[in-house]
Homo-oligomer: A and B are copies of this chain.
Amino acid sequence: MSDRGTGQTPKSGEGLLFLTDDQLRRGIEAMFFAYRGFTADPDRILQQYSYGRAHHRAIHFIKRSPGNTVNNLLDILGVTKQSLNRVLRSLIVDGLVESRVGKQDRRERHLYLTDAGQELEKELSEAQRSRMRAAYRDAGPEAVAGFRQVLEQIMDPEMRRHFQTIKEGA
C-alpha cells in the first residue's frame, strides 16, 4: 500500500529504478526548466525586433525547407491558419519572408526567406545553437544520443514522422 498510491511497482531487484515516479518527475521538471533555457536566448533577440516566439518558429521552418507551402507549415507547427497567417503577414510586410505563387498549383503559396530573413534567422539560430553546442559538448556524444532518443519517444507519432523526414531528407 505504501507505494501503490504512486503507481510504482518495484517488481524485483532489476535495474528499473529509472522508471520510478520520482525519476519521472525529475525528467518532467528537467524538460520544463530546460525548455525555458532553450528559448531564452532567441526570445531576447526577438524582443528587439518586436517579434515573438511564433515568428521564430515560422522563420526556422521556412529556412529548413524553403519553398514549403503554407499548409505544410501549418501541419508542422500545429496551429490554425489564422494564427500562422497573422505571423506570416507581418514577416512578409517587413520583407523577411517572400510568398510565391505555386507553378503547378497556383493556389499554393511557397515560402522563402529573403536576404533580410536569412540574416535574422542566422542571428536567432546562432544564439540557440550556441547554448545547445555548449550543452552537447559538456554532456558528450553518448549523452547526446540518449537525449535525442528520449525526445523522439516523447513526441507524438505524427511529429516523429515530420522529424524523421528531416533526419532522412537532409
Chain A residues with CB under 8 Å of chain B are 7, 15, 18-19, 21-38, 40, 57, 60, 64, 78, 125-126, 128-129, 131-139, 141-156, 159-160, 162-163, 166-167, 170
Contact = CB atoms under 8 A, between A and B. Distances in A.
A121 B83 CA distance: 31
B160 A33 contact: yes
Contacts of A148: 26-27, 30
Contacts of A126: 7
A155 B29 contact: no
Counting from the closest, the 4 A-B pairs by CB-CB distance are: A146-B146, A143-B146, A135-B153, A147-B150
Query: Within the oligomer, what is the number of copies of this chain?
Result: 2
A141 B32 CA distance: 20
B31 A141 contact: no
Given A134-B153, A135-B150, 19 more contacts: A21-B129, A22-B170, A25-B125, A26-B167, A27-B148, A28-B128, A31-B151, A32-B57, A33-B160, A34-B152, A34-B155, A36-B78, A36-B155, A36-B156, A40-B156, A132-B154, A139-B150, A142-B142, A142-B146
A28 B151 CA distance: 10
